[in-house]
A and B are shown apart, each in its own frame.
Chain A
């Protein structure tokens, strides 16, 4: 795993049709590459420490790596939209958050203390992924850092608020999921017919607002 710090981005093959670029801030590298996208580029996806440049199959990866090398040398581009703050009304616990009680118990917290910790933090969208409209939210209090489940649940309902590792997140649609489930919101996280299909975008600030009933 790459270390955090000022080391320059490194490029390696990721399978036979993609490159893996390790960088301290993948989003900035993404902007730099998109300013002059190389031939055959299909997708440019950020993760926490790396981004993947996915190409049409059959690409010469050595040539593709050479084509994006100049973009990696310059990281002077800034994210392109101003941060917004988005409130997420959340019903914690009960059937909406089946992991709240066992997690509170294993962390030595009362359920209310766990809710207060999760809802009092201020989060930032670091990157999108996992599922359409799913935002990885940084800012989870250190006490709440827990591992994901050993085996994912086959189905987690849409709107479920969850935590795993250093992140919180919200499942935009019913899907399999390995995170610990704390509660649920009624907000729509992903609408593929909207001009902007995702409620959240990288850089957005997010707050969870505890409610008794999820509000539409």
Chain B
């Protein structure tokens, strides 16, 4: 068993897997990777099952020291990572597995476009699961690395590696898949239960308009600003499904993320379709985004096509 040591933390890096559905009735959001497509690709490239825990970096990545040899892969937003090895530096690729030798420093550096980058290590991050997942829930009082971002000096234990995949695809094909599915900025939406609260004259400013991602965005939700303010009648707190879009009286649209409040009182004016939820996690402050209405049948087809396209490029490990 090996470990990665955090030499310099990124802006907000945390342990993430596919999350902990099943506890929402205790008020516990599922958490998990903000972009599960990038997480799945990174895991599959090193021979991990999709649910293995990875390191999710936000806007800037960490510098890690390998305490033993490890096969790793990076997937997600664009970056220019490198390895410091015995006095020299080597550029390392995204979307392609490579090996860290004991003592290597992996420098992930700034994220250049998009918001999040995933580092998978063969064997997976092996911290103790809490409520059936290793995912950090940064907004809640969870213990140790399930409750906070990575810090300088943290030692991240890695499990026993499984065999590598027999072959991995051209990194350019995986990069194109992520560009099309995780880095898109048009979000297909279905009407929410409170869609009728949108005054008709506000609809053009909400749908098919370019809105700006606020710096007050997080794993709880990504805030889009630029829409008109609107006073809604008081509403009871009701459940918020994955991808739900809340509208605040100030006119902000909140695209709820993996640490969303599982119930909330702001009106739900729309829902981002499941196929486009990973792209919410890749919106960086200052980016422009647009909501485009779609039908339920089309949403389901898009999701199934997305799953099939990913599996055709890089099949999952048999469970």
Footprint of B on A, CB under 8 Å? 1, 12-18, 20, 30, 42-52, 54, 57-58, 60-61, 127-136, 147-148, 150-152, 154, 158, 164-167, 172-176, 178, 190-193, 197-198
- Residue pair B261, A130 in contact (C-beta under 8 Å): yes
Q: Assuming A17-B243, A130-B263, A134-B27, what are 17 further A-B pairs, CB within 8 angstroms?
A: A14-B244, A15-B272, A18-B242, A30-B25, A43-B21, A46-B239, A47-B238, A47-B239, A52-B238, A57-B303, A131-B29, A132-B141, A147-B234, A173-B139, A190-B27, A192-B131, A197-B26
Counting CB contacts under 8 A, is B208 at the interface? Answer: no
Residue of B nearest to A172 (CB): B141
B residues in contact with A57, CB < 8 Å: 242, 274, 303
- Residue pair A133, B27 in contact (C-beta under 8 Å): yes
Binds A, one of B47-55, B176-184, B248-256, B309-317: B248-256
- A55-B285 Cα distance, complex, nearest whole Å: 30
A-B contact pairs, 11 of them (CB 8 A): A1-B236, A18-B241, A43-B23, A46-B263, A50-B239, A58-B274, A127-B263, A128-B25, A130-B263, A135-B27, A151-B249
Residue of A nearest to B238 (CB): A47
A residues in contact with B142, CB < 8 Å: 192
Range class of the B interface residue count? 35 or more
B residues in contact with A165, CB < 8 Å: 234, 236-237, 265
Q: When A58-B300, A130-B237 are in contact, do A43 and B271 touch as well, CB less than 8 Å?
A: no
A93 to chain B, nearest CB (A): 25
Chain B contacts with A in 132-156, Cβ cutoff 8 A: 137, 139-143, 146
Counting CB contacts under 8 A, is B216 at the interface? Answer: yes
B residues in contact with A176, CB < 8 Å: 139, 220
- Residue pair B263, A47 in contact (C-beta under 8 Å): yes
Q: When A15-B241, A43-B24, A54-B241 are in contact, do A151 and B250 touch as well, CB less than 8 Å?
A: yes
8 A-B pairs closest in CB distance: A129-B263, A15-B271, A52-B239, A47-B238, A48-B236, A57-B274, A18-B241, A43-B24
- Residue pair A50, B248 in contact (C-beta under 8 Å): no
Which of B238, B261, B268, B300 makes the CB contact (< 8 A) with A16?
B300
- Residue pair A136, B261 in contact (C-beta under 8 Å): no
B residues in contact with A48, CB < 8 Å: 236-238
- Residue pair B26, A133 in contact (C-beta under 8 Å): yes
Q: When A54-B242, A172-B141 are in contact, do A129 and B236 touch as well, CB less than 8 Å?
A: no
- A189-B296 Cα distance, complex, nearest whole Å: 39
A residues in contact with B21, CB < 8 Å: 42-43, 54
- B3-37 to A contact mask, C-beta < 8 Å, 1/0: 00000000000000000011111111110000000
A residues in contact with B22, CB < 8 Å: 42-43
Counting CB contacts under 8 A, is B283 at the interface? Answer: no
- A130-B237 Cα distance, complex, nearest whole Å: 9
- A46-B25 Cα distance, complex, nearest whole Å: 7
Most A CB atoms within 10 A — which of B143, B261, B268? B261
B223 to chain A, nearest CB (A): 10
- A1-B146 Cα distance, complex, nearest whole Å: 37
B277 to chain A, nearest CB (A): 8
- A208-B185 Cα distance, complex, nearest whole Å: 47
- Residue pair A17, B241 in contact (C-beta under 8 Å): yes
A residues in contact with B235, CB < 8 Å: 1
- Residue pair B137, A15 in contact (C-beta under 8 Å): no
Which of B140, B193, B216, B250 makes the CB contact (< 8 A) with A132?
B140
- Residue pair B238, A198 in contact (C-beta under 8 Å): no
Counting CB contacts under 8 A, is B92 at the interface? Answer: no
- A151-B204 Cα distance, complex, nearest whole Å: 23
- A132-B244 Cα distance, complex, nearest whole Å: 18
Chain B contacts with A in 168-218, Cβ cutoff 8 A: 190, 192-193, 216
- Residue pair A49, B238 in contact (C-beta under 8 Å): yes
- Residue pair B26, A150 in contact (C-beta under 8 Å): no
Counting CB contacts under 8 A, is B69 at the interface? Answer: no
- Residue pair A14, B193 in contact (C-beta under 8 Å): yes
- Residue pair A172, B271 in contact (C-beta under 8 Å): no
Which of B141, B220, B250, B263 makes the CB contact (< 8 A) with A190?
B141
A residues in contact with B304, CB < 8 Å: 58
Q: When A131-B27, A173-B141 are in contact, do A49 and B236 touch as well, CB less than 8 Å?
A: yes
B residues in contact with A13, CB < 8 Å: 190, 296
Q: When A130-B27, A197-B26 are in contact, do A17 and B139 touch as well, CB less than 8 Å?
A: no
B residues in contact with A54, CB < 8 Å: 21, 24, 239, 241-242
- Residue pair A45, B265 in contact (C-beta under 8 Å): no
Counting CB contacts under 8 A, is B112 at the interface? Answer: no
B196 to chain A, nearest CB (A): 10
B16 to chain A, nearest CB (A): 16
Residue of A nearest to B264 (CB): A130
- A209-B277 Cα distance, complex, nearest whole Å: 43
